[in-house]
């Protein structure tokens, strides 16, 4: 009997299932706490940045406007990712599962798998 050259892909599915279970409980337990922490830290960051800008010798109204716009854009993106994380995380997990399934099909198809993988349509 020859040993398997590839590890058991069922292990990857077990890891993904455990991660899904952990993220499912995270959504209900920590999502509101994470949002509150985000607003607290974002307020501290914005206040500290404004304080440093006002006290700098090269402070200008244009620089202040630039600072506020950059912070608002960065905070908006971070808030979006954090707020919609209950919807984003399952999408990321399902994309890993699709990639794992495609890899498993290539591995199981035999010695010509790399050639078929290159000619396969891109997802």
18-63 per-position pLDDT tens digit: 877 776 776 777 888 999 999 999 999 999 999 999 999 988 999 9
Q: What is the pLDDT of residue 1?
A: 43
Both tokens of 93, joined, read 């997990």
Question: How much is the mean pLDDT over the chain?
Answer: 79
Domain ranges of the chain: 10-103
Whether 2 shows a pLDDT value over 50: the answer reads no
Tell me if 100 sits within 8 A of 13, measured CB to CB: yes
Structure tokens at 79: 């808030």
Q: Cα–Cα distance between 116 and 113 in angstroms, integer?
A: 5
pLDDT at residue 5 in the model: 45
pLDDT, greater one: 88 or 43 = 43
Task: Decide if pLDDT at 111 tops 70.
Answer: no
Residue 119's pLDDT band (cuts 50, 70, 90): low
């Amino acid at each position: 009997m020859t040993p398997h050259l590839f590890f058991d892909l069922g292990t990857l599915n077990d890891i993904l299932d455990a991660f899904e279970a952990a993220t499912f409980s995270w959504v209900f337990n920590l999502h509101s706490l994470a949002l509150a922490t985000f607003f607290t830290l974002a307020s501290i960051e914005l206040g500290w940045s404004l304080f440093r800008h006002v006290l700098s010798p090269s402070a200008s109204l244009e620089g202040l406007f630039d600072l506020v716009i950059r912070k608002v854009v960065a905070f908006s993106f971070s808030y979006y990712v954090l707020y919609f994380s209950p919807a984003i995380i399952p999408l990321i997990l399902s994309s890993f599962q699709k990639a794992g399934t495609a890899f498993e099909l290539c591995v199981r198809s035999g010695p010509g798998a790399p050639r078929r993988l290159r000619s396969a349509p891109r997802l």
